[in-house]
Structure 1
Amino acid sequence: MLLYPSESDFPYEEEVLREPLKLQAWRRYLAALAGAPPQKRFSIYERALRALPGSYKLWRGYLAELLDAARPLPISDPSYAALNGAFERALATMHRMPRIWQMYLASLTAQRRVTRARRTFDRALRSLPVSQHARLWPLYLRLVSLPGVPLETAVRVHCRYLVFDPSHLEDFIKLLLRSSRWQEAVTRLAAALNDDDKPFCSVKGKTRRQLWLDLCDIVASHAAEISTTGLNVEAVIRNGIRQFPDEKGLLWTSLADYYARRGLFAKARDVFEDGLNAVSTARDFGLIFEAYAQFEQLLLAAKLDASDGEVDNGNLNDGEFWLKGGDDTDFLIARIELLFDRRPKLLNCVLLRQNPHNVEQWRRRAKLFDGEPSTQVSTYVQALKTVDPMKAVGKPYTLWVDFARMYESRNLLDSAEEVFERATQVNFKSVDHLATVWCEWAEMELRHNNFEKALQLMRQATAEPSVEVKKRAAADGNEPVQMKLHKSLRVWSAYVDLEESLGSVESTRDVYDRMLDLKIATPQIILNYASFLEEHKYFEDAFKIYERGVKLFKYPHVREIWAMYLTKFVKRYGNTKLDRARDLFECAIEQTPSQEVKPLYLQYAKMEEDYGLLRRALHVYERAVKAVPDCEKSSIYESYINRAESLGFKEVRKIYEQAIEAGLPDSDLKSLCMRLADREASLGEIARARRLYTYTSEYADLQSDSNFWKMWSEFEIMHGNDDTFREMLRIKRTVSLPAQTFERIKRQRLQ
């Protein structure tokens, strides 16, 4: 009875009967029955769809209400059969409507009707244009990912989807790996990475390098499954090595692991060796070496287990026959020991490949072959051919020196001299490098008592190139360091040392004079030359060298020359050449800045005290206190006052007064005033002493200068009276006032 129309339905019934093909009439009828039972509404929908079978709005509303009615019911309920039948009837006319297909397919997926849903998906894909397939594939993939769906079915569906959307490759490969289809996963990933026409772009955010590493990891981890597929695994990994050199260590290790898992141990060992000889970073070397060592240790352990009858056939694969073979355990142990012994040499090769011009690494390599003379010689030869002095990191001359010392240690002096001779022809970056080669050569000759040969080498090194050689070098436009060697201080210093030890006085003087003429002498060379002449009693000649030195150098380099010159001259002549000594002191003081002039004034005054007149010495002190900085005046005044004591206290008082007015620092001024006040008090000049204490109080502080106030208090107790003592206390209280008040009182007193 519920399905029959009620009185309120008569207007709508009359309208739909009068115009059954009018969609709005049916929709108004359904809207009026919004609260009616579902079965009554379904009957209205059926009548409407018989009249308008091609209406999308009616079918969509009908199917949506059928879905809502069936959703809370169990899958076995007949309502689902009616629902599916309604969808099939709808698709007879709505097969071009993707939304109807989506509703149907989502319902079948929820019902877990996998076979029917898969076939319906196929029908939908055939019915809809390709431009609308993107709305169906997510539902299709969700269907095949349900539990219980065979992996074969999922793989086939994903394979079809890959044709529609190639960017789905990563998910497809993940599915292949999950289903243990290693060969297909590797083939597809390798094909995508090797396709230069259409470079593969990861939608997961992975870089091309990460995808290559994933590929190499798969082929290495599942070598047994992939080896029979015809895929050239070695070519794949080597291609990755060429494309990603920063991952060489990991890729070489993966390739060796691939062969090791297949049981091809010799081939795996060859790959490890190739990797160690190909990488150029310590990081990659560490990865490969560690894997290589672990590989050898695992082989040894497997061999020991095999000898005990504990071989695991599942892990040994094709190498089992070797493990069960003869007893070569000692050979494996020796191989491991040799590998670890070779490690420093292999690492050194890596660092040299990183920078073949690294001098220190070549030197270390040569030391690694200390017990192998022929190999060590070939190493030095290779190093000298490889290292470009202009690009060298380090000091390239050390290779030549080490090479020559190696021959020298074996008493092959002719070969060592030949090495040094070739080294002197090399165009080093720095003249000092070439100079060191010559000096090392001469030292080698000295060690073997070839003194004349050593001197000859130094003469040859310091010889100035001829005019023709200079013109030829200027024409070439690239002046070698050999053209500048004759001005190298290092060579000349070694030469002059040899002449002093082995040559004559005249030959040594000639060498020193040539150094001065070339203007390459240093202040130390000047001092050494003068000292050499003094040792051989050429005193005036030594003073001439000092004269040349003070003219050649400026301050501060000339400081030591002046100090030595003045000391030696005064010691030599004493009071016999005072005028000349005074001229020297005046010239030295004139060249020296005020910050450094104090020692010269003191030395000058000391000379006048010892050999001249006291008045002249005091005059020097008087000049000194005006020339030196304020911070050094106090010490000069102390010496000045001590020297003036012999002239009487009247002269000393003048110096004290001059010092007080000289603007000394407060601490020096207070000390000076207190000493003078003590002297005045001892001579009975009480008023003068009190004035000094009063003057000094302006610079004294209660906390930091408690000693001053104590001395003034004792002075007043001993020599003063009530009035003077009260005056002292008043001044003390004034000093304790704030600074602003003190300044005001001070101004008032001055006024």
Structure 2
Amino acid sequence: MDSLDALRSVLPLTVPIPSPVTNTSLLTPKDISREEDLLRNPGSLQAWWTAIQTAKEQAIASQKTQTLGNPLLGPLANPTARMNLQRLTYLLESALVHFPRSYKLWKAYLSMRTYYVLGKATKQKRSGARKKYAAMSEMIEEDEFDAESWEGGLNGVVGWEEWKALVGVYERALMWLPTMPRIWLNYLTIFNHPLLPPAFSKTHVRRTYDRALRTLPPSLHNRIWPRYLIWAERTGGPTTVAVFRRYIAVDPSMTEHYTKLLIEMKRPLEGAKLLLGLARKAARGEYESPEGKSPYQLLGEWLDVVEAWAEDVGLDPDEIKPTEEQPEKKEEKAEPVSSTGSLIRLAGPMVPADSSGKPVETRPYDPDEDPTNTQKLDVERIIRKDGLEMYKDQAGRLWTGLATYWIKRGEFDRATETFETGMASVLTIRDFTQIFDAYAEFCETLISALMDELASPDDDEDTAETEAELDTRMRAFEKLMDRRPFLVNDVLLRRNPNDVQEWEKRVALWGADDEKVRSRDIHDSS
């Protein structure tokens, strides 16, 4: 195995640009006539192209008979390949001196230089053509399928100078042809190579993508963004956040995917705020999920995040401000300014309007929907306002979700109060059963934990307190089990106060307790 110094001694090959003045082996006696012809006709692109194609065919033929050397050098492992690279570089660089804006020459030059550094590119075969106007998620899937892989390649440490020279060639090409999307795409492709030197792995790549978006017209941005988002997702960390924030500001269709990334990156507060914003927009008809999710499903995903990351997402109980009911103010209906309408506004605030003159509804800033705001959420207020008031048929899931949130925060008394409030307000047996089963499971888990704590006591004083709490919890659990038929009867009568059979059952349950049988609470809560 060759040493690192021995491998580095044969490189770099293209820095500085090879020339017969510095390297006499670049030209053979057979090349004299070609050089004389090019000197006589330096402005003939056809003459240059013929010479380049001939040299390329000779290079391919000579390399077929050569055996591979050290794999760290990739395509440059044998002397013949290294000499071919220098000869082709000299010839193409000479041609570009006369035709610096020739896309044909630059494409051939970049392709040749890329092969000798990255190795032979391979692609999976696609059945059918790509969709022209596809959603971003579909374009990302297509780009991932079409992603190139390479056989061999020059090691990024050993061949650092050659990698740097390749990047420099692409930069020169873009200086002359900045609006050619294919050059940008080929340039961005090299940053996906597994042997890419670390110096080019993050900052340079991000800035190159940004330059591509600034340089190319907006109609071509859909060819850049899929690769940019794929690279940002693989990179992770602040880069993922910065890139996805920029994209969803223009196209919110990737927001749901972005929230999953945020949860994986352990940034639940930002993900929860994005999901809450999507659920509210979907409920107002301003957002349509690419995956076909309903507003309630989006709110359910938000609730799942809240349950799993209660401490990170929700406000502490002592930080929650009591909500004060304010009387609704009737505001005058504002009309947009118009020279032909019935009203010409002479004073007062301006009203936003679209191109047709219709007023555009604007909503006040809400920190609960701003992912950049670090203020935590008042979970109970949100569940009551955006959940229980809108999705009354899903009250069971919402009440148990709120109670689970309080349990995860260690607020057992609030969880108990939430379960009780939920059972006293639901209108269906399904919702009641969901809440009751979760309530019973919570009581059993808490009792089991207290019994385990008593099994290994640490202090006599703590043991006495634990025993007292255990007795209280067990009595409450037994009372809950005994109350079940009464609670079911309450639910059915709230649903239909005119159900005579349920009233008869109520009389049988309560017996001589006339106050309970009358049950003013049932009528008041219905």
TM-score tier by shorter-chain length is: 0.5 to 0.7
State whether structure 2 residue 220 is matched by structure 1 residue 74. no
What is the aligned partner in structure 2 of residue 57 from structure 1?
104
State whether structure 2 residue 351 is matched by structure 1 residue 329. no
What is the aligned partner in structure 1 of residue 390 from structure 2?
243
What is the aligned partner in structure 2 of residue 643 from structure 1?
none
For residues 371-422 of structure 1, what are the alpha-carbon distances to aligned partners after superposition, in whole Å with 9 as ceiling and x for unaligned? 534433x269999x99xxxxxxxxxxxxxxxxxxxxxxxxxxxxxxxxxxxx
CA contact (8 A) 1:96 1:127 kept: yes
What is the aligned partner in structure 2 of residue 301 from structure 1?
448
Q: Distance in 1 between matches of 2:169 and 2:482?
A: 82
Cα pair distance change 1:366/1:11, threshold 3 Å: same
| Structure 2 portions without partners, runs of 5+ | 1-23, 60-83, 120-151, 316-374
User: Which stretch of the first structure deviates more once superposed, 199-208 or 269-278?
Assistant: 199-208
CA contact (8 A) 1:125 1:133 kept: yes
Q: CA deviation at 1:12?
A: 8.5
Give the secondary-structure state (helix, strand or coil) at the position aligned to 2:413: helix
CA contact (8 A) 2:427 2:492 kept: yes
Q: CA deviation at 1:366?
A: 2.2
2:169 to 86, 97, 112: 86
CA contact (8 A) 2:55 2:88 kept: yes
What is the aligned partner in structure 2 of residue 118 from structure 1?
206
CA contact (8 A) 1:252 1:271 kept: yes
Cα pair distance change 1:278/1:25, threshold 3 Å: farther
What is the aligned partner in structure 2 of residue 496 from structure 1?
none
What is the aligned partner in structure 1 of residue 45 from structure 2?
23
Q: Distance in 1 between matches of 2:463 and 2:308?
A: 22
**What is the identity, as a one-letter code, of the residue corresponding to 1:4?**
L
Q: CA deviation at 1:124?
A: 2.5
For residues 313-347 of structure 1, what are the alpha-carbon distances to aligned partners after superposition, in whole Å with 9 as ceiling and x for unaligned? xxxxxxxx999678233222221111111111211
Cα pair distance change 1:198/1:48, threshold 3 Å: farther
For residues 587-629 of structure 1, what are the alpha-carbon distances to aligned partners after superposition, in whole Å with 9 as ceiling and x for unaligned? xxxxxxxxxxxxxxxxxxxxxxxxxxxxxxxxxxxxxxxxxxx
CA contact (8 A) 1:302 1:323 kept: no
Give the secondary-structure state (helix, strand or coil) at the position aligned to 1:302: helix
1:105 to 175, 188, 212: 188
What is the aligned partner in structure 1 of residue 379 from structure 2?
233
State whether structure 2 residue 152 is matched by structure 1 residue 129. no
Cα pair distance change 1:5/1:97, threshold 3 Å: farther
Give 1:162-181 correspondences, 5 Å limit: 162-181=248-267
| Cα-Cα RMSD | 3.3
1:265 to 412, 416, 422: 412
Cα pair distance change 1:143/1:13, threshold 3 Å: farther
Give the secondary-structure state (helix, strand or coil) at the position aligned to 1:188: helix
Q: Kindly tell me the number of residue pairs found equivalent between the two proteins.
A: 373
Give 1:336-351 correspondences, 5 Å limit: 336-351=477-492
Cα pair distance change 1:380/1:48, threshold 3 Å: closer
What is the aligned partner in structure 2 of residue 140 from structure 1?
228
What is the aligned partner in structure 2 of residue 186 from structure 1?
272
Q: Distance in 2 between matches of 1:299 and 1:152?
A: 40
What is the aligned partner in structure 2 of residue 471 from structure 1?
none
Give 1:490-529 correspondences, 5 Å limit: none
Q: Distance in 1 between matches of 2:466 and 2:239?
A: 46
CA contact (8 A) 1:193 1:199 kept: no
Give the secondary-structure state (helix, strand or coil) at the position aligned to 2:271: helix
Q: Distance in 1 between matches of 2:426 and 2:519?
A: 20
Give 1:364-383 correspondences, 5 Å limit: 364-376=505-517, 378=518
| Structure 1 portions without partners, runs of 5+ | 312-320, 387-751
For residues 192-236 of structure 1, what are the alpha-carbon distances to aligned partners after superposition, in whole Å with 9 as ceiling and x for unaligned? 222366723222343322211110111122211122443121122
TM-score scaled by length of structure 1: 0.45
Q: Distance in 2 between matches of 1:296 and 1:307?
A: 17
Give the secondary-structure state (helix, strand or coil) at the position aligned to 1:202: coil
CA contact (8 A) 1:109 1:117 kept: no
Give the secondary-structure state (helix, strand or coil) at the position aligned to 1:53: coil
Give 1:281-430 correspondences, 5 Å limit: 281-307=428-454, 327-376=468-517, 378=518
Q: CA deviation at 1:291?
A: 0.6
Q: Distance in 2 between matches of 1:197 and 1:48?
A: 61
**What is the identity, as a one-letter code, of the residue corresponding to 2:378?**
N
CA contact (8 A) 1:12 1:25 kept: no
Q: Distance in 2 between matches of 1:26 and 1:163?
A: 48
**What is the identity, as a one-letter code, of the residue corresponding to 1:329?**
L
Cα pair distance change 1:281/1:172, threshold 3 Å: same
Cα pair distance change 1:237/1:373, threshold 3 Å: closer
**What is the identity, as a one-letter code, of the residue corresponding to 1:74?**
N
Q: CA deviation at 1:6?
A: 6.2
Cα pair distance change 1:380/1:275, threshold 3 Å: closer
Q: Distance in 1 between matches of 2:29 and 2:225?
A: 46
Cα pair distance change 1:162/1:302, threshold 3 Å: same
CA contact (8 A) 2:396 2:434 kept: yes
Cα pair distance change 1:240/1:43, threshold 3 Å: same
Give 1:478-489 correspondences, 5 Å limit: none
For residues 285-336 of structure 1, what are the alpha-carbon distances to aligned partners after superposition, in whole Å with 9 as ceiling and x for unaligned? 111000111122223333344455669xxxxxxxxx9996782332222211
Q: Distance in 1 between matches of 2:278 and 2:522?
A: 45
Q: CA deviation at 1:2?
A: 6.3
**What is the identity, as a one-letter code, of the residue corresponding to 1:358?**
D
Q: Distance in 2 between matches of 1:41 and 1:381?
A: 92
Q: CA deviation at 1:30?
A: 2.7
**What is the identity, as a one-letter code, of the residue corresponding to 2:111?**
A
Higher RCO (C-alpha 8 Å, min separation 6) = 2
Q: Distance in 1 between matches of 2:392 and 2:516?
A: 31
Give the secondary-structure state (helix, strand or coil) at the position aligned to 1:136: helix
Q: CA deviation at 1:20?
A: 3.2
Cα pair distance change 1:25/1:245, threshold 3 Å: farther
Give the secondary-structure state (helix, strand or coil) at the position aligned to 1:206: coil
Q: Distance in 2 between matches of 1:322 and 1:217?
A: 36
State whether structure 2 residue 289 is matched by structure 1 residue 202. yes
What is the aligned partner in structure 1 of residue 401 from structure 2?
254
What is the aligned partner in structure 2 of residue 45 from structure 1?
92
Give the secondary-structure state (helix, strand or coil) at the position aligned to 2:187: helix
CA contact (8 A) 1:190 1:236 kept: no
User: Which stretch of the first structure deviates more once superposed, 121-130 or 249-258?
Assistant: 121-130
Structure with greater helix percent: 1
TM-score scaled by length of structure 2: 0.63
What is the aligned partner in structure 2 of residue 584 from structure 1?
none
Give the secondary-structure state (helix, strand or coil) at the position aligned to 1:334: helix
What is the aligned partner in structure 2 of residue 4 from structure 1?
27
CA contact (8 A) 1:155 1:175 kept: no
